[in-house]
Structure 1
Amino acid sequence: MASSLPLLALRAFVEVGRLGSIKAAASALNVTSGAVSQQIRLLEDRVGVTLFTRERQGLRLAEAGASVYPSLLLAFEQIEKAAQTLGEIKVRQTLTVSTVATFAASWLVPRLGRFTQRYPNIEVRIEATSTTVDMHRGRVDVALRHGLGIYPGLNIMRLMAPVLIPVACPGLVTESAELKEPRDCLNYPLLHDSDRADWPLWLAAHNVAKDQRAERGTAFEDDFLLIRAAEAGQGLALVPLEYAQTEIAAGRLVQVLNKPWPARFAYYVVTKQDAMQRPEVKAFVDWVMEEAQNTLP
C-alpha cells in the first residue's frame, strides 16, 4: 500500500506536521489551502487512519501521524538535498588541461589555486604528459605545449618564451673555480635536454667558438630530471629560469653565470578552433594568459 501513496499528499502531510497549519503549509508549498486540505483528506482516506487532530490553535499530529512523521521528514530533506546536488552538478563544469610534467609542477600548479578561487564552479583536471595529444579526438580541452607553435588546424596563442640560465649545485662550482665567462662552462660536465641543442646554441649566442665538448654529457628527456641531476652535482644544466627558481631560493642550485638566453621554443596555449566559445575554456585561457603576463619581469 505504501508504494501507492501519492507523493504530493505525503509532502503536504510533512509540511502541515512541521508548521502545524494548513495555511502555513499552503504558503510553503506555493499552493492554495484547499489543495493542502484535499491532499490530507486523500492521504487519510487511503491509509484509513486519522493523521491530525484539530485544535483551536491549529492541527496537531495524531498518534498515527506522529509515528511516521520523523521518517517522512527525513526522507523529504534527503530528496531536497539530492535535488540541490543535481542543481550544483548542472552548473559545475569540468576542464581537462594537458601539459608537460615539469611545466605543471613548476609553473601551472602553484598558480592554479587563484583560478579555482575566481571560478569555483570550474573543476580543472591536469594531465601531465610529454606525449602528443590528439586535440581533435581526445578529451583534452586545453593543451599547454612547448614547441615552435606549429599545430595545424588548431587555435594557437603564444603564452611565454622561457629564458635559459646555467645552474649547478653549490658544491660543483666554488668561488675559486674558473667560471667567469660562458666558455668556462666547457670545463665542466654538461647536462643536456633530449635533443642536445640548447648548450651549443647558448654558447654560440655568447660568441663561444664551436667545440665538441658542448655536445657531450648525459641527456634527459624531461627538464625535471635535468634539474635533479644538476642538484646531485652531476654537471652544469641549462634550464628555464621558472623551473629553477624554487631550487635556487632553497640553495639547492646556484646560477653560475648571469647570462640568460631566450630558448628556441616557446609555450603555447592550444585549443580546438571553436573551443573558445565554451565559457569554461575561455575563462581558463584568459586566466593563464594573464598569469603568464604577470610572470614577465
Structure 2
Amino acid sequence: MTSPVSFSALRTFVEVGRQGSIKHAAQELNVTPGAVSQQVKVLEARFGVPLLERGNREVKLSSHGLRLFARIAPGFELIDAAVQTFDERRPGPRSLVVSTTPSFAACWLTPRLGRFAAQHPEIEIRVDTSVQLADMTSGKVDIALRHGSGDYPGLDAALLLRPQLVAIGSPSLLIDGPLKAPADCLRYPLLQDRDRVDWSTWLEANGIKPARNASKGPSYADDALLIQGAKAGQGLAVVRDVYAAHALAAGTIMIAVDAPVPTKAKYFVVTRPDRLTVPKVAAFRRWILSEAGVV
C-alpha cells in the first residue's frame, strides 16, 4: 500500500515554488530553512524524483517540480482564499496589508492614513515597503500602490496619480523667492537622485542642454531623502510632485521655478480582481482614489 503524501510537505513545496527561495519560504511559513529543506526531501523521497535544482544561493524547480507545482498550487490558492474569506467574517479588527515604495509611504501615504483610520476604525492598516511589486498571488498583500506603466498581467490596476517632476528648494536658500527661469537653477548646488538623471531629464524637457554640473552633487537613494536635503538648505532638488506635496503645503520647501515636467510612469492601485469585493479592500481602494481626487 502506497503511503499517504504529507499535506504539510506539499504546502511547504508550494511556498518554495512561489518564493523561489528556501529562506524566503521559511520566513513566510515561520519555520527554519532546515525544516523547509527537510519537507522537500520528504516529497522527493516519496516520489523518487528531484523536485528542486539547488545552486549556491538559489533554488529552481526541476522539470518534475514544475509539473507538480502546476498541479497543486491552484488548490492551495483556493484553500488560502477560503480561509481568508472566513477570516473577513470574524468580529473585531481586520488587518489590511498595503505594499508600496518607501518614498511613497513616507511622503504621500502616511500623512493621510489618519483620515482613513477615522473613517474605518475597524480596519488596521499595515504598510509594507519594498522597491519591487509584491507577490499579489500569495495572499500576504491586499493592495499595492505602484509607480509604473499600469501593465500588471492578471491584476486590477486603477490609475491613482499622474506625477510631475518639479524643482524644489528651501525658503532659506531661495530668499528672493522663486527663480525666473529653469536655467537659473544651475547657479545653486544640485541634489541628485540615485541615478543622477532627474536633473538632466527636467532641464532637457525645459529646453536646456544640461551643463556638466547638472549631474554633480550629493545623491540620495529616494525622493524622501532628497526632500529632507532640500529642507535643510543643502541645495535644489528635482522630485515628483506627489512626494513633495506635504512639505510644500507645510511651507518647509517651495517650488524653485514653475516648470513642471510630466513623467511617463504613473501611480496605480493594484490588487487581485477576486479581492475587489472584499469589504476592507473595497473600502481602502475607494478611500485612496478619493484622496487622489480620482473619484
- Seen in structure 2, the aligned counterparts of structure 1 residues 193 and 116 have a Cα distance that, compared at 3 Å, is same
Tell me, in whole angstroms, the C-alpha distance in 2 between the residues paired with 1:251 and 1:122. Answer: 32
- Seen in structure 2, the aligned counterparts of structure 1 residues 155 and 249 have a Cα distance that, compared at 3 Å, is closer
Tell me, in whole angstroms, the C-alpha distance in 2 between the residues paired with 1:289 and 1:176. Answer: 34
Could you tell me whether the CA contact under 8 Å between 2:144 and 2:270 is conserved in 1?
A: yes
Q: How is 1:1-297 mapped onto 2 (pairs within 5 angstroms)?
A: 89-90=90-91, 92-137=93-138, 139-175=140-176, 179-293=179-293
2:241 corresponds to which letter in structure 1?
L
Shift in Å, 1:271: 0.9
1:171 corresponds to which letter in structure 2?
S
Tell me, in whole angstroms, the C-alpha distance in 2 between the residues paired with 1:116 and 1:176. Answer: 38
Tell me, in whole angstroms, the C-alpha distance in 2 between the residues paired with 1:173 and 1:200. Answer: 21
Could you tell me whether the CA contact under 8 Å between 2:133 and 2:144 is conserved in 1?
A: no
2:140 corresponds to which letter in structure 1?
R
Shift in Å, 1:285: 0.9
What's 2:62 paired with? none
2:129 corresponds to which letter in structure 1?
A
Q: Map Cα deviations across residues 91-149 of structure 1 (whole Å, 9 max, x no partner).
A: 64221111123322332223223323333322221223334422222511101112232
Q: For residue 257 of structure 1, give the secondary structure of its aligned residue in structure 2.
A: strand
Give ranges in structure 2 of 5+ residues lacking alignment.
Answer: 1-88
| Alignment: residue pair count | 209
Shift in Å, 1:205: 1.7
Shift in Å, 1:186: 2.1
Tell me, in whole angstroms, the C-alpha distance in 2 between the residues paired with 1:105 and 1:279. Answer: 26
% identical equivalent positions: 44
> TM-score when scaled to structure 2?
0.62
Give ranges in structure 1 of 5+ residues lacking alignment.
Answer: 1-87
Q: For residue 257 of structure 2, give the secondary structure of its aligned residue in structure 1.
A: coil
Shift in Å, 1:176: 9.3
What's 2:69 paired with? none
2:121 corresponds to which letter in structure 1?
P
- Seen in structure 2, the aligned counterparts of structure 1 residues 225 and 123 have a Cα distance that, compared at 3 Å, is same
Larger-gyration structure (1/2): 1
Tell me, in whole angstroms, the C-alpha distance in 1 between the residues paired with 2:266 and 2:227. Answer: 19
C-alpha RMSD of the superposition:
2.9
> TM-score when scaled to structure 1?
0.62
Shift in Å, 1:158: 1.2
2:267 corresponds to which letter in structure 1?
Y
Tell me, in whole angstroms, the C-alpha distance in 1 between the residues paired with 2:147 and 2:177. Answer: 37
1:206 corresponds to which letter in structure 2?
N
Shift in Å, 1:293: 0.9
1:135 corresponds to which letter in structure 2?
M
Shift in Å, 1:209: 2.3
